[in-house]
Amino acid sequence: MVLPLTVVGLALAVGAVEFGWNVPTSRPAVVVLSLAILFLTVGICARLLVAVHAGEKLFQIGDRPWRKAPRAGRRASSGPGRIPSRPDQPVRLDHPSRPGHSTSPDHPIRPTGRPDPERSAESADIEVVRAAAREFLELFHGESPRAERLGPRIAAVMREIELTGTYWHTAEELAFGARVAWRNNARCIGRLYWRSLQVRDLRTVSGAGDVAGSCFDHLQVAHNGGKIRPMISVFAPETPARPAPRIWNEQLVRYAGYEQPDGRVLGDPRYRTFTSELVQRGWQPPDVPGAFDVLPLVVETVEEGPQMFQLPRQAVHEVPLEHPELAWFAELGLRWHAVPVISNNRLVIGGVSYPAAPFNGWYMGTEIGARNLGDSDRYALVPEIAEQMGLDTSDEATLWRDRALVELNRAVLHSFTANGVSITDHHTESRRFLIHLEREERAGRRCPADWTWIVPPLSGSQTPVFHRYYTAETQLPNYLTDPDATHRSLQGGPPAFP
Ligand code: ARG
């Protein structure tokens, strides 16, 4: 590649002279110039190659459907959670005609010597895992003064990848990776606290019932009596021997949306399809359906298929909403859950993928007040609140929407605080985010941020995060949203392991 580039470089230099650009015209100058162009071109090509490689890596790790998951030799025994009628217990979701499991043993590595069409793709995958592992271990060791020596750790990990196609993070690597994944997540305004993330290492937990139970514990521990702890529970990783469990729900606590005969939705319209799908699969809504019925948790494993678990009452902390001045507000019967635990993102660390790794911070008021309760395709409460406030809704120019939205948001902030549940407002959080950016810059790191996600949905221009640009490149480790996982969390299927 170097020779043609030299020729191109020389040609460009000569061409530049020919076209009368303002360049030195002596012979040595032409040589120097062509060399400069040559180096530049080589540099650009190298960068391009690296970029292509990185893109490939992201794609392959995150979004590849499970290719050849060996099934366990038998269906999981009917565990304690098989009785559909009991609360807090799973209901089997899979269709009776679901194909049975093959009995082939789990071979992480294919025996050599047999012709195998998948083999070259596989070794390319392994290369990607190796490169990602090396990059992550270097990052970890660069930022962790007390870590064991880098060289031996990389060698051990490479051997493990050679043998099994993947590797097991140390507890310290896992905790660091989960925290840096938060630090790298371009959509989150609350990243100032990334170091405080508590990491629950649950990588040996992989059965549907155990995953669900640990999720319910997570809700309790993270709620912490109202003083919410940022926390992640990391369940079994994806491995060549066994695919990881999947949590279907978008968050651990979400409200059902019931389509009414008149086409309107009772509850959260975002989950109308998810809700009806779960009903079809056997979930029984409360006798009198309401606007804030907590959906069951759906956990799918390759052995058990998707299973539903009703959340125990003590795991669901909610805040009834009232307004500091408007007495009628409490009569609306609004409420929201205290802890937002995102449960359909894939945590990706150094070539290892954790599809079941629910994590939470605490709420920023606008998430509930401006979006969940305000959006016209969610609870759409603005017109009703404006009406109650006695605003003139006949003319947009009275800004009745804006005025009602502000009061809805005041109610959210007021109610959480009055109930002793952690919450933050968008002005405070915007300032904190800029402090975070400054700190990251001082540490010599790039901090990706997505303007469209960072700027609050209420009074954006009143917050300092509005008035600047950000770079938004994807950095790993990170929390990634797979299209199929997003689909499952809104449409209630199809299963990851059909
Ligand atoms: N926006 C989502 C919701 O309203 C929650 C996303 C995560 N938010 C957070 N503060 N950690 O439920």
Helix/strand/coil for 309: strand
Q: Which two tokens stand for residue 290?
A: 């309401």
Query: How confident is the model over 360-375, as pLDDT tens digits?
Result: 999 999 999 999 999 9
Angle, helix 272-280 to helix 483-491, in steps of 10 degrees: 70
Per-residue b or e along 279-303, where b marks 16 or more CB atoms closer than 10 Å to that residue's CB: eebebebeeeeebbbbbbbbbbbbb
User: How far apart are alpha carbons 382 and 399 in whole angstroms?
Assistant: 12
Q: Ligand 1, atom 2: nearest CA belongs to which residue?
A: 367
- Of residues 6 and 356, the one with the higher pLDDT is 356
Q: Which two tokens stand for residue 62?
A: 């995150």
Spacing, Cα 363 to ligand 1 middle (Å):
6
Cis peptide before 230 (omega within 30 of 0): no
The owner of tokens 């709420």 is 363
User: How far apart are alpha carbons 121 and 112 in whole angstroms?
Assistant: 15
Residue 110, pLDDT score: 33
Residue 62, pLDDT score: 28
Question: CB-based burial of residue 450 (10 Å sphere; 0-12 exposed, 13-18 middle, 19+ buried)?
Answer: middle
Cβ–Cβ < 8 Å for 292, 335:
yes
Residue 117, pLDDT score: 59
| Mean per-residue pLDDT, 373-385 | 98
Residue 339 has pLDDT above 90, yes or no: yes
User: How far apart are alpha carbons 351 and 345 in whole angstroms?
Assistant: 16
Angle, helix 27-63 to helix 119-143, in steps of 10 degrees: 100
Helix/strand/coil for 491: helix
Residues contacting 442, CB < 8 A, separation 6+: none
Q: Which atom of ligand 1 is nearest to the CA of 363?
A: 10
User: How far apart are alpha carbons 493 and 467 in whole angstroms?
Assistant: 40
Q: Is 363 in the pocket of ligand 1 (CB under 6 A)?
A: yes
Cβ–Cβ < 8 Å for 110, 122:
yes
Q: Which atom of ligand 1 is nearest to the CA of 364?
A: 10
Q: Ligand 1, atom 1: nearest CA belongs to which residue?
A: 367
| CA dihedral over 379, 385, 386, 388, signed as positive or negative | positive
Q: Is 343 in the pocket of ligand 1 (CB under 6 A)?
A: no
Spacing, Cα 340 to ligand 1 middle (Å):
5
Angle, helix 27-63 to helix 2-18, in steps of 10 degrees: 130
Q: Is 372 in the pocket of ligand 1 (CB under 6 A)?
A: yes
Residue 123, pLDDT score: 85
Cβ–Cβ < 8 Å for 449, 474:
no
Spacing, Cα 367 to ligand 1 middle (Å):
6
Query: How confident is the model over 43-98, as pLDDT tens digits?
Result: 443 443 333 333 323 222 223 333 333 333 333 332 222 222 233 444 444 332 33
Q: What are phi and psi of 375, to 5 degrees?
A: -55, 145
Q: Ligand 1, atom 6: nearest CA belongs to which residue?
A: 340
Q: Is 255 in the pocket of ligand 1 (CB under 6 A)?
A: no
Q: Which atom of ligand 1 is nearest to the CA of 372?
A: 4
Query: How confident is the model over 433-479, as pLDDT tens digits?
Result: 999 999 999 999 999 999 999 999 999 999 999 999 999 999 999 99
Residue 189, pLDDT score: 98
User: How far apart are alpha carbons 395 and 59 in whole angstroms?
Assistant: 49
Spacing, Cα 487 to ligand 1 middle (Å):
18
Helix/strand/coil for 15: helix
Q: Which two tokens stand for residue 190?
A: 């609350």
Give the pLDDT band of residue 118 (cuts 50, 70, 90): low
Query: How confident is the model over 398-417, as pLDDT tens digits?
Result: 999 999 999 999 999 999 99
Spacing, Cα 76 to ligand 1 middle (Å):
35
Q: Ligand 1, atom 11: nearest CA belongs to which residue?
A: 361
| Mean per-residue pLDDT, 293-298 | 99
Nearest-CA neighbor of 496 among 294, 238, 271, 119? 238
Active-site residue list: 188, 191, 362, 367
Q: First vs last Cα of the chain: how many Å apart?
A: 47
* DSSP category for residue 255: B
Residue 364, pLDDT score: 98
Q: Is 345 in the pocket of ligand 1 (CB under 6 A)?
A: no
Round the average pLDDT of the chain to a whole number and report it: 83
Cis peptide before 494 (omega within 30 of 0): yes
- Of residues 124 and 102, the one with the higher pLDDT is 124
Q: Is 207 in the pocket of ligand 1 (CB under 6 A)?
A: no
Q: Ligand 1, atom 10: nearest CA belongs to which residue?
A: 363
Pocket test for ligand 1, best of 194, 218, 337, 363 (most atoms within 8 A of CB): 363
Outline where DSSP puts E strands in 190-247. Answer: 198-201, 231-234, 246-247
Residue 116, pLDDT score: 61
Spacing, Cα 476 to ligand 1 middle (Å):
21
Residue 301 has pLDDT above 60, yes or no: yes
Q: Across the strands, what pairs with 478?
A: 348
Q: Is 367 in the pocket of ligand 1 (CB under 6 A)?
A: yes
Spacing, Cα 172 to ligand 1 middle (Å):
27
User: How far apart are alpha carbons 69 and 442 in whole angstroms?
Assistant: 45
The owner of tokens 């994944």 is 181
Residue 378 has pLDDT above 80, yes or no: yes
Helix/strand/coil for 329: helix
Residue 120, pLDDT score: 79
Q: Ligand 1, atom 7: nearest CA belongs to which residue?
A: 340
Query: How confident is the model over 158-212, as pLDDT tens digits?
Result: 999 999 999 999 999 999 999 999 999 999 999 999 999 999 999 999 999 999 9
What does the CA dihedral 246, 248, 252, 255 come to, rounded to 10 degrees?
A: -170
Spacing, Cα 425 to ligand 1 middle (Å):
13
Residue 333: what residue type?
G
User: How far apart are alpha carbons 62 and 52 in whole angstroms?
Assistant: 16
Pocket test for ligand 1, best of 192, 270, 367 (most atoms within 8 A of CB): 367
User: How far apart are alpha carbons 364 and 188 in whole angstroms?
Assistant: 11
Residue 148, pLDDT score: 84
* Half-sphere exposure for 291 (CA within 13 Å, toward CB): 14
Percentage of the chain beyond pLDDT 90 is 74
Helix/strand/coil for 289: coil
Query: How confident is the model over 244-270, as pLDDT tens digits?
Result: 999 999 999 999 999 999 999 999 999
Q: Across the strands, what pairs with 246?
A: 300
Residue 145, pLDDT score: 84
Residue 469: what residue type?
Y
Q: Is 364 in the pocket of ligand 1 (CB under 6 A)?
A: yes
Outline where DSSP puts E strands in 238-358. Answer: 246-247, 257-259, 265-267, 297-301, 305-309, 318-320, 335-337, 341-342, 346-349, 352-354
pTM attached to this predicted model? 0.79
Q: Ligand 1, atom 5: nearest CA belongs to which residue?
A: 340
Outline where DSSP puts E strands in 327-480. Answer: 335-337, 341-342, 346-349, 352-354, 359-360, 363-364, 423-424, 478-480
Q: Is 361 in the pocket of ligand 1 (CB under 6 A)?
A: yes
